[in-house]
Structure 1
Amino acid sequence: MNSQLISSNESALLLRVAAGNELAYTQLVERHWKKVLQHALSFVKSYPVAEELTQDIFIQIWEKRKKLSEVKSFDNYLFIVSRNLIVSHIRKKLIETDSLKGEKLQELFFKPDEQYEFKELVEIINEGATLLPEPRRSVFLLSRIEGRDADYISKELGIAKRTVRWHLVQALNFLRNYLHKHYNVNLLTLISLGVNFFS
């Protein structure tokens, strides 16, 4: 009976998230964050990388939230999303290691004729970041510009780590949409130019 009640509660939560309820989404993230982080950590062996992967996994769940209304087992769905992103990350790193011989992807694309375009994209991202409300803007800048982890940001800004994660997820979602809407820049373009704010 108890397991049926838990299942029923989660189904109701998923339906609220699918409808765009941000509070329900926050609850979903808090409920599963630690499990996904540990899963990612078991593969990548780096806490900062595992944390970024976990953020990306939950960003994808939010972006594709309408699918949640059809999900029968969220644990299975979460496992599939996590597995796909983790495998993609590992494959990308293997390709970089083999074909770039240790060079950073960003350095490969920093050829003279492409430097201007890269700098322009960075300026656009910074422009979008100025539109973020505080403390979301500070969370984004500390995380993606300065490379700080959630513990540091939490102490620096005096907010809970889960609040840091929420603001970062929302900031990344906003900036992706901002880039696409105002400049027609998609994620593939950013990756091809070595912009790692979203990876």
Structure 2
Amino acid sequence: MAIKPVHNEPLLLKQVSLGDPEAFAQLFRAYHQPLAEYVHRLTESQEMTEDIVQDVFIKLWMKRETLPELNNFVHYLFILSRNRTFNCLREKANKQVRQMRWASQFEKVTTQDAPPPEEDYRALIDVAVAQLPPQQQKVYFLSRYQHLKHKEIAAQLGISIETAKKHMKLALRSITQYVRAHINALLLLLIWILFHR
């Protein structure tokens, strides 16, 4: 990717090497966007791109004393970015492979001697339901366990249909938030069981 160096690049590099934050900000403004475009083409991830570019500029600042010695700063910048990008992509691929292995191991465990994961999941939902306000609990119970419609729930509880719908909506939102917040702990527990059997 061809990028023209800024006209006063040698001076900026010298100033940055002496710890001048304004000179560093100028370098950042000059090269951040083209660098981000380059990295994004490799990662196809905005979040990963932002992290990588930030890491690259942090590394530049940490090694600022060596910058005036560089013959081609732009080339160095892109090599640094490319290497960091490939490392991140490698880490991501390794993580995905590990997750696939864990999923495979979990499947073996649950089909052999461990309780099915649905039971753990249902237990989480039960705890979440127990923490709901009483009226939301009643509406949820009548809907999910007695399979009543909103109109029937409203009639049984002496509330309007809209109120029944609102309670159900709030109950489902609370349950979802609780399960999402605690599912990682459940996964960690399963991992621990898997590797300490």
Superposition TM-score, scaled by structure 1 size: 0.47
Which protein shows a greater Rg? 2
**Quick one: higher RCO (CA 8 Å, sep 6+), 1 or 2?**
1
